[in-house]
Amino acid sequence: MDHFLYRDGILHAEDVSLTDIAAQVGTPFYVYSTATLERHFGLFTEALSGMEHLVCFAVKSNSNLAVLKLLGEMGAGMDVVSGGEYRRAIAAGVPGDRIVFSGVGKTREEMRLVLSQGIRQFNLESEPEMRALSEVATEMGVTAPVTVRVNPDVDARTHAKIATGKSENKFGIPISRAREVYAEIAALPGLDAVGIDVHIGSQLTDLEPFRQAYTKVAELTRELRADGHDIRRLDLGGGLGIPYERSNDAPPLPIEYGQVIRETVGDLGCEIEIEPGRLISGNAGIMVTGVIYVKEGEGRDFLIVDSAMNDLVRPAMYEAHHDIVPVVEPEPGVDQARYDIVGPICETGDTFAKARDMAPLKAGDLVAFRSAGAYGAVMASEYNSRPLIPEVLVMGDQFAVIRERPTYEEMLERDTIPAWL
């Protein structure tokens, strides 16, 4: 069920017309659908029903406080990868005991912050980090609950930049060394090994790599228990992919993913944690942009839009595809034009799509990039001194700006000219 549909010839977000939002906030902007966020979170709760579990939303996919509050109120935990994300989760009202802390380079300062305000567990990624946490926790007189992120050496069959579970990747500890590491944790003060963590990559469109990884985690659970460790929690990471191209085969459903979890680790009596990001927020958001010019080129026309790679970097960074649709529904059967859709930034990489067939568009028209709710606004920058674009949340027939577009004054004020100039 999609909550971005045409009604009376205009693309809507739930019951709100995108032309109304554009008239009020200006283009470009991101817009998220409450109903879609709720539905996607619900799919995971349903997929894990009957097993003790916590669905921890991967904050890095969309960290807007309103989105976090919405999910937190539904009972979601949060998976954070920095002190900043932790502060966001806390500010959104999520209690520390529902927050897991992932990431390869946690600093001592971040460890202190999180230990003083409450944390469900640290997902440790290296031995130096394990020793640092032991020292920090001991100094503070507390015990830090930890898991070790194991690297199962499986091929996630996804884009190289978002594959994390092969031995050559920087993530986790090789699963073959896990027993030694857990033995050291047991010997160190200030640490309590509560479980095992694994995350093999993002935008996986096949369940087989999950099955392989989780099977290895199940074996390791048995071995560690035999070694005397009380493994009671398994964090199975995120990574389930979404359909970016409607014309392609649909990736597996959360319910099928839940079945893999049941089959591989369901009999261990562990509490299950998962960390989905993209599947919850990706198709819950779109980016709306205006056409500045239609430029005729040789063999192709260019649609020059008012958003750019700094606003949505996925096409430039991962060769990612986004379906792009006009906000005003084209007449049926209209002749298609072929466009390269580009932003105004002075880099050839600032190309969103090549040779897209669409109903003809003209300057001033609006188009929407679908599936832009994850790794969109969070990865935006002010490159070319372009202000970060606003984010809007829709619920039914209401909408609210949940992040304002900064003014140019606010952007310039952040710089300081030294006294000697």
Ligand X SMILES: *Cc1c(COP(=O)(O)O)cnc(C)c1O
Measured in degrees and rounded to the nearest 5, phi and psi for residue 298 equal: -85, 115
Nearer to ligand X, 125 or 311 (CB): 125
Strands (E), 64-222: 77-80, 99-101, 121-124, 144-151, 173-174, 191-197
Closest approach, Cβ 236 to ligand X, in A, equals 9
**Of 120 and 278, which CB lies nearer to ligand X in the complex structure?**
278
Burial 152-169 (b: 16+ CB within 10 A, else e): bbbebebeeebbbbbeeb
**Cα gap 70→75, rounded to integer Å:** 9
DSSP string, 97-110: GGEEE--TT--HHH
Residue 327's contacts (CB-CB under 8 Å, 6 or more residues apart) are 10, 11, 18, 19, 22, 288, 365, 366, 367, 368
* Strand pairing class (77-80; 53-58): parallel
Token pair, residue 207, equals 């369940």
As measured in angstroms, the least distance from the Cβ of 199 to ligand X is: 4
At a CB cut-off of 8 Å and minimum separation 6, what does 24 contact?
A: none
Site residues for ligand X per CB under 6 A: 58, 60-61, 79, 102, 199, 202-203, 237-239, 275-279, 374
- Which residues are part of the catalytic machinery? 346
Residue 74 gets which letter from DSSP?
Answer: T
Neighbours of 340 (CB within 10 A): 17
| Residue-by-residue DSSP string for 118-130 | --SEEEE--HHHH
By C-beta, is 56 or 366 nearer to ligand X? 56
Nearer to ligand X, 104 or 328 (CB): 104
Exposed, middle or buried by CB within 10 Å (0-12, 13-18, 19+), for 385?
Answer: exposed
